Amino acid sequence: MMGGASGGTPPAGAGALLPSAEPVQLVGPDGQHVHDDRYPLPDGEQLLRAYGCLVAGRRINDQANALVRQGRMAVYPSSHGQEACQVAAALVLGDEDWLFPTYRDTVAVITKGVDPLQVLTLLRGDWHGGYDPHEHRVATQATPLATQLLHAVGVAHAAKLRGESTVVLAMCGDGATSEGDFHEALNFAAVFHVPVVFFIQNNEFAISVPLKNQTVAPSLAHKAIGYGMPGERVDGNDLAALLAVLGAAVNRARDGGGPSLIEAHTYRMQAHTNADDATRYRSADDVERWVPRDPILRMRTYLRALTLLGDEGERAFADKADAIATTIRKGLNTEVEVNPAELFEYVYTEKTTQLREQAQQLREELARDAAADAASVDAASDDVEHQGKGDQR
């Protein structure tokens, strides 16, 4: 049941809520500008900065995948091919805004300014999220689908009640739209007219389940009309279009226009995670068809054609990306000193009886192990000493 004061605004006509017939595109796969009356092309300086983030994002994905194979990370959900969505989601937000990512949105979190090593702590297999959500206004990543959407709406609602100008951008995948939490989040956001942008990265698969087995809606963006909020579709491999469409949605929310739903059409070029065998549910030809649509290749072609990007600029972006990868590699190759007692420290504000008992049990077990290890070392030393005396005899 909903509570609190409703600050709703009468919904716009149904026609105004419908997304465009085709995904918005400002730079085509061939790197050529595509005119759109509704969305102006971002300026060259903005695109150049975003392109640098794209290059860094791809390098981060490659480095993380390598570290998984080396046993330095437990799991990594790659966003290879989706980096334009990641970068745009972070860059359209201001310092006062919040980002609510999914487990696949590592590049978005790093682009928002969070330290890469802190971001990868969770995926390394640690018990905590790795970073302070309040420092950069980025919620922690988590694996449950769509739960972060409810939290995002809560933050947006609180900001509205306080009279703040905060906007919340909540990311999810196409699979999350099949969850009940998705419905609850969008319904609450629309009824209470809160400043949140729901951003779906439709990469066509919920692990192994294709989109056609999840919905028969014309598009995921069409779901918005059922909640009384506007929906929009955008080419998820077109960095320029993403910056324009998401930027417009964020500005609309900040100006009191309420929530909106943006669907980016993209593709997951690699497996769901390193534990997934994508060849069981899609062919190499399916993946190959998306190679020419690569967001980095597209933006590079566009920027070079306008002489905004040259060889020197490319090297500078590549060097910066390599520096980030080196930091990640060195940091994750450092062994972590674990403290088992931390398992019980942050479960509840006040430890329950069971937690205190379990903590005491662990302390006793560790003490016994330490005593056994010490005794073993003493016994080994005695053996060496006796052997030495025997040799002297």
Measure the CA angle with vertex 86, ends 291 and 195; round to 5°.
Answer: 140
Q: Which residues touch 42 (CB under 8 Å, ≥6 apart)?
A: 50, 240, 243, 244, 247
From its phi and psi, is residue 4 left (phi > 0), alpha (psi between -120 and 50) or beta?
A: left
Spatial CA neighbour of 60 closest among 123, 5, 18: 123
Q: Residue 176 and residue 116: Cα distance in Å, rounded?
A: 25
Q: Which amino acid appears at position 34 of this protein?
A: V
| CA distance from start to end of the chain | 88
Residue located via tokens 């998705």 = 182
Which active-site residues does the annotation give? 268, 272, 281
Element of type H or E holding 232: strand 231-235
Spatial CA neighbour of 98 closest among 161, 145, 149: 149
